[in-house]
Structure 1
């Protein structure tokens, strides 16, 4: 039976965001269909991200400088009060309440410790990238206390590898969840081809060298 937002247990949505004024409002509005506790952590954004998130109904935490997704995620988790959290990227398109229910349902029921969303049918570029490296997805649901216990969470510009390592270390139960017709606005579209491609290269370099930088 679908989970009604009004009957949801202690649940929050946390959205790290950096210069995502064009899309964050739509993500927030969908998240508010699930729970009234939606926190956007603006990571030193220099556009209208914080204002767009507030106007959409989110609680906003503004970081004074761009410290990376890890720092923003940590600030959002610290501002939230719910026991269970759903993590979303701020540049999603095609997101619906059904997707969020699919993502958080197994965690709320106790069947999983974490669910990880994987794009399906949302577009070639985002589908391909997400399926090639699904463990790097930013769409997740889990207990907030567990996430706050991830070593290096706030220190990593891209925290997904640290989260994945903690899943293995703690023996957490997790599974991938398909998110049909959901996609992300690609960096090349947001920043222009060359700047976007450069940003994408830096992102994957940081993500894929995590083990070398954090050997313990």
Structure 2
């Protein structure tokens, strides 16, 4: 796959919301730094070494005092950069490479899309299945910063993906999916233990599925 154009290179930042992801965030940061020196990790009230690990890996770190949700962390990360284009990544990815980031970034910078959404392919049965069943909930996205910060309620939602999807539809934005071969996520059940992970997953889907009822108006 060809390189992104180097003349008049656009300003790009990678933002990574993270909650207790000390085991994986450094790997994600290191890949992101291959794309751009502007990498911001927002530690969402983590009580492990997420912030220190991310900082040691080379990221700029924003630390939230309390765990208030991915939306608040994302908003805080966006406030820490003025880059024209934003690459959003989850902090628990596995198998990520520079090529995956370029796959998402290229159609947005070229002007073909307003948002590109990455979906897993071959990274693991469970994560592949969940990502393909609900690709609109993927946390791997690229878009312009000015568009993203205009999403209503972005910083108020524990899981901001439904708010972003609604804004895509209401603004008539052009968006599409791109496969991310061999990329997956560490399951919540593995990170937190089976029962705590299952409870966290249940809470996540409850928040996601009730978004429309809670936000009857944009």
Q: Where on the TM-score scale, by shorter chain, does this alignment land: which range?
A: over 0.9
Are 1:187 and 2:184 an aligned pair? no
1:37 is matched with 38
Where structure 2 has 5 or more consecutive residues not aligned to the other structure, the ranges are none
Q: Does 1:46 align with 2:47?
A: yes
SS in 1 for 2:33: helix
Q: Could you tell me how far apart the structure 2 residues matched to 1:213 and 1:7 are?
A: 43
Give the alignment of 1:1-216 within 5 angstroms.
1-3=2-4, 8-216=9-217
RMSD (Å) for aligned C-alpha atoms: 1.2
Gaps of 5+ in 1: none
Whole-angstrom CA distance in 1 between matches of 2:6 and 2:168: 28
Give the TM-score normalised by structure 1. 0.98
1:152-186 CA-partner distances (Å, limit 9, x unpaired)? 00000000000000000000000001000000000
Tell me the SS of whatever aligns to 1:122. coil
| 3-state DSSP of counterpart to 2:42 | strand
**1:9 positional shift:** 1.3
- Write out per-residue CA displacement over residues 175-212 of structure 1, whole angstroms, 9 at most, x where no aligned residue: 00100000000000000011101100110110011001
Cα 1:206–1:6 shift into 2, 3 Å:
farther
Where in structure 1 do 4 or more consecutive aligned residues deviate above 6 Å? 4-7
> Closer, same or farther in 2 for the Cα pair 1:42/1:6, shift >3 Å?
farther
> In 2, are the aligned partners of 1:8 and 1:35 still within 8 Å (CA)?
no
The CA deviation at 1:4 is: 6.7
CA distance in 1, matches of 2:84, 2:145: 6
Q: Which SS does the other structure have where 1:80 is aligned?
A: coil
Number of corresponding residues: 216
